């Protein structure tokens, strides 16, 4: 079997919530955000909230997803099941989104997620700005990364 990218729906909300929680809990930066423990342990369904979704499946099983908006070209969430990381699902999801968006795509990443930042940079993204805001009751630094359509 191979990796398949398909359109996601609200029927995928529960599995996406479980994948997001598992990925966040297993991340190397989770320990740097002890104040966000409740958020990182969240496994409740991810509501689409007006966004579109792509789901990555391997051997018929969902292993990752990305929620995004075409109008803004923004990827709100991209999570891969920790047991399935490294097989190209994240890159395939980004490329499937890029095919639907006519311009650049962007993503926001916490600065403590150094592995995630390096992953996006290696896929043609560049840092365009950063800011600080409250995250689960404490200040956190974020980066906005953008990939131009010509760099993928």
pTM of the complete model beyond 0.75: yes
In 29-137, DSSP assigns E strands to 52-58, 61-69, 74-80, 105-110, 126-135
* pLDDT tens for the 152 residues of the chain, in order: 699 999 999 999 999 988 888 877 777 766 666 655 555 566 667 788 889 999 999 999 999 999 999 989 999 999 999 889 999 999 999 999 999 998 999 999 988 888 899 999 999 999 999 999 887 777 888 999 999 877 65
Strand pairing category for 74-80 and 105-110: parallel
CB–CB of 113/31 below 8 Å? Answer: no
Radius of gyration of the CA atoms of the chain, in A: 15
3-state DSSP helix/strand/coil % of the chain, to nearest 5: 35, 35, 30
Q: 3-151 maps to which CATH number?
A: 3.40.630.30
């Amino acid at each position: 079997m191979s990796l398949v990218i398909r359109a996601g729906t609200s029927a995928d909300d529960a599995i996406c919530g479980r994948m997001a929680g598992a990925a966040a809990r297993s991340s190397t930066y989770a320990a740097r955000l002890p104040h966000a423990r409740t958020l990182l342990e969240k496994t409740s369904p991810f509501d689409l909230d007006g966004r579109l979704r792509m789901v990555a499946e391997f051997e018929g099983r969902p292993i990752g997803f990305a929620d995004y908006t075409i109008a803004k070209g923004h990827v709100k969430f991209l999570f891969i099941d920790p047991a399935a990381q490294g097989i190209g699902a994240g890159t395939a999801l980004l490329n499937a989104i890029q095919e639907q968006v006519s311009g650049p795509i962007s993503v926001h990443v916490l600065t403590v997620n150094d592995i995630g930042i390096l992953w996006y940079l290696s896929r043609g993204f560049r840092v365009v700005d950063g800011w600080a805001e409250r995250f689960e009751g404490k200040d956190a630094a974020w980066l906005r990364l953008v990939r131009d359509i010509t760099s993928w």
